[in-house]
Amino acid sequence: MYFTTHLSCGLFCGALTKNSLGALCLGLVSHAALDMIPHHDYDSVGGAAVDIASGLVILSAMQTLFPGLSGPLLWGAIGGTIPDLEVALRRIFPGYKLRRLFPSHSGLLPHPQREFPKGVLVQFAIIAVCLFFCFSLGR
């Protein structure tokens, strides 16, 4: 699943918990839950660059809009996105040999794929819902 999708859900976790540790933990759980929804994954550097840049713009905007929740929003975003670091390291460094540990990456939990464009549209819907509730809870 895209970085921006995981990040948006992590922001929602931050707005929901309003607590940095709670946001981090819930963000990690949200990563596993989202990976189980059939989705599209890209495998290009350009796609990753656009995705990561978009996510960081959203994170910055939300922290600016809700400065009182800046910490929980950041930690929710970290919890929601950090599990994919092990996936990114494998792609960046072909010689990277460490086993995947996160349950939705190791095969312990399902990680179904969905073709373009349905696999993209489902992620746009998730982003919209998460940001809507993040706005609602952040006020």
Chain residues binding Zn ion by CB under 5 A are 35, 84
DSSP 8-state symbol, 39: B
Which of 36, 37, 4 is closest to 107 using CA atoms? 36
Distance CA 81, CA 67 (A): 21
CB 54, min distance to Zn ion, A: 17
- Secondary element (H or E) of residue 52: helix 45-65
User: Which CB, 33 or 121, lies closer to Zn ion?
Assistant: 33
Q: How far is the CB of 48 from Zn ion (least distance, A)?
A: 13
| Least distance from Zn ion to the Cβ atom of residue 124, Å | 18
